[in-house]
Amino acid sequence: MRFLKKLGKILVLTVLCLILVAGFSTVYKDYKKREAEVKRELALPKLPIGYEKRASILGKGDVIVLINNYSSDLFVEAIFKNEKKQKTITILMKPRVRYPIGWAEGWRLKKGDALKVSSKGFQSAYYHHKENLEKIDPALVCGIATLSGLSPLCSLIEH
């Protein structure tokens, strides 16, 4: 009888260990997949898009102005996000032309907003709007996201 009790405990522990190993394996595979994606993107050239922030002329939030510093046209996707909503704006940017994005384009830029700007063949650029619009190194963001209120930005980086 004692033997069966010990055997039962060993079996339960074995099953728990197998579940732990399977869970760790899945997490590790996801981590390695994400790591490979990040390495691929970091091997790309930097996105040749400049930016500046200004107050809206009509006083409704701030406006980000994107500038194509590349010698030819670029299709650019700008993803704006805050705690409540997300908006994607796609622009065909001509070289050396300024493209303002603000409330008239469907996004009223406010403190706490996050922005991801991307174009095929280039690294994505990430910005966080605190007092000013700051460019962020994505490798440093997600580890401190919950402590510094960058969770919208972190979710942009993860997608």
Q: Which domain holds residue 141?
A: 49-157
144 band by pLDDT with thresholds 50, 70 and 90: very low
Answer whether residue 101 is part of any domain: yes
Q: What is the pLDDT of residues 45-72, one digit of tens each?
A: 888 998 888 888 876 778 889 999 999 9
13 band by pLDDT with thresholds 50, 70 and 90: confident
Tokens of 148: 């510094």
Helix (H) or strand (E) holding 52: strand 49-55
Answer whether residue 144 is part of any domain: yes
Query: CA triplet 101, 45, 129: central angle to 5 degrees?
Result: 35
Query: Under a CB-based contact definition with an 8 Å cutoff, are residues 76 and 93 in contact?
Result: yes
Tokens of 136: 């962020």
pLDDT of residue 85: 86
The tally of domains found in the chain comes to: 1
Answer whether residue 69 is part of any domain: yes
Residue 29 in 3-state DSSP?
Answer: helix
Answer whether residue 135 is part of any domain: yes
Answer whether residue 18 is part of any domain: no
Q: Measured between alpha carbons, how far is 103 from 92 in angstroms, rounded to an integer?
A: 19
pLDDT of residue 68: 93
Q: What is the pLDDT of residues 76-131, one digit of tens each?
A: 999 888 888 888 999 999 999 999 988 888 888 888 888 889 899 998 888 877 76
Tokens of 26: 């899945």
Residue 139's domain is classified under what CATH number?
Answer: 2.60.40
Question: Can you list the pairs that 52-59 forms with residues at least 24 positions away whose Cβ atoms lie under 8 Å?
Answer: 52/133, 53/109, 53/129, 53/132, 53/133, 56/102, 56/103, 56/108, 58/103
With 80 as the cut, is the pLDDT of residue 6 above it?
A: no
Answer whether residue 142 is part of any domain: yes
Answer whether residue 55 is part of any domain: yes
pLDDT of residue 137: 63
Answer whether residue 29 is part of any domain: no
Q: Measured between alpha carbons, how far is 63 from 108 in angstroms, rounded to an integer?
A: 7
Residue 18 in 3-state DSSP?
Answer: helix
Q: What is the pLDDT of residues 23-39, one digit of tens each?
A: 666 767 777 777 777 67
Rg (CA), the chain: 23
